[in-house]
Amino acid sequence: MKKKAIIVSIKGATLSNKERLLFSNEKPWGLILFRRNIVSINQLQSLIKKIRILTKDIYFPILIDEEGLTVSRLKKLIQHDISANYFGGIYLKNKRLSICLYKTYLNSLCKKLKKIGININTIPVLDVLRANTSKVIGNRSFSKKKEIVKKLGKITVNQCHSNKIISVIKHIPGHGCAVSDSHFKTPKVNLSYNKLNSNDFFPFKSTSAKLAMTAHVLYKKIDSINVATFSKKIIKEIIRKKIGFRGILMSDDISMKALKFDLLTNAKKSLNAGCNLVLYCGGNINDNFKLIKSLPYIDKFTLKKTSEIYKILR
C-alpha cells in the first residue's frame, strides 16, 4: 500500500486527462469531494468507480464533509437539513431520545454514503461552543457542554464504524475557543493550557477514531509562533501525549488563509510538525502534481493505521 501523504481534490464532475494520470500514475492517499464534483447520484457513482479502477484499489478513500445543514456537499442529492447542535439540544432534555434519534439518523446517512461509494465522512465536529465561538463552527458543534460533545462524538465514531464508514474527528485540539474563521485569517487564542485542557481538549480524549483533522489555530500560550497544524509541540505533547490520539492525523486544508506560506511550504511544515497526511482542497491539477511529486510516501505508522481503516471498510 504505497501511498503519498496527501489527500487531493479535483476540479469538476468528471476527470480530466491529467486527473486520470494523477490517479493512475501517482499514489495519493485519498480524495475529498466538494459540491463542484457532484451533479447526480449516477454521475457521482460513476466518478468514484472510475477513480477506484484507476487506483486499482476497491477501498480507495473517498472523503466528504457531510455534516448536514450548513455543511452539506450532497445537498443536491440527499435531504438532511439538520445539525449536530439539534441533537445536542435534544440531549439536554432527553438523553435516551437524543441518542436513539441520532443513531437512526447516522445509520440512514451512512447507508446513503455507502450506496454512492463514499467511505469517509469528516464528522464529528468535537469543538465545544462558547458565547463568542466563530460562526464558522456554530451549529456544527453539538453543544456548549463538553460532556455532551464527547458523548455524541463517541456515538458518531462507533455508529459510523459499525456501518463501514470511517469518521474524522475535528478540529483537534479544539476550534470552539477561536473567535475568527480560519478559512480567512489565523485565529489566535490566548487561553491557558489548563483552561484549554479542561474544556476544549476534553472531547478528543479516549477516542476510537482512526482519523483526526487539525485546527489551524494559534494557541499563543502553548506555542506562540505556530498554529497547531505546524506545531511540533502541540502535535507531540498535546495531541499525541495529553489527548492521547493514536490514529492518523491529517491537516485541515493547506490552502486556507490561516496558513501564511505557499502550498508546498504549508504541506511540508504540516508533515514536519507531525501530521501524517496533508489535505489539499483547491482542486488545481498543477498544484496536485506539484504537491504529490514533492511529498513523501506515508510512513510505517500511517501504513499500519491505513490497514486498520481498510479492515473496517471490508
pLDDT at 181: 78
pLDDT at 184: 83
For CA atoms 272, 275, 281, 286, the dihedral sign is positive
Mean pLDDT by 10 residues, the chain (314 residues): 94 98 97 97 98 98 94 89 96 98 97 97 97 92 98 98 98 92 89 96 97 97 97 98 98 94 98 98 97 97 98 96
How far is it, in rounded angstroms, from Cα 203 to Cα 129?
12
DSSP three-state, residue 165: coil
DSSP three-state, residue 312: helix
DSSP three-state, residue 269: helix
Give the global pTM. 0.96
Which helix (H) or strand (E) element contains residue 304? Answer: helix 300-313
pLDDT at 241: 98
How far is it, in rounded angstroms, from Cα 122 to Cα 144?
21
pLDDT at 130: 92
Residue environment code for 247-273, b if the CB has 16+ CB neighbours within 10 A, otherwise e:
bbbbbbbbbbebbeeebbebbbbbbeb
194-201: long-range contacts at Cβ-Cβ below 8 A with a sequence spacing of 24 or more?
196/222, 197/242, 199/128, 199/146, 199/174, 200/127, 200/128, 200/146, 200/173, 200/174, 200/176, 201/173, 201/174, 201/238, 201/242, 201/243
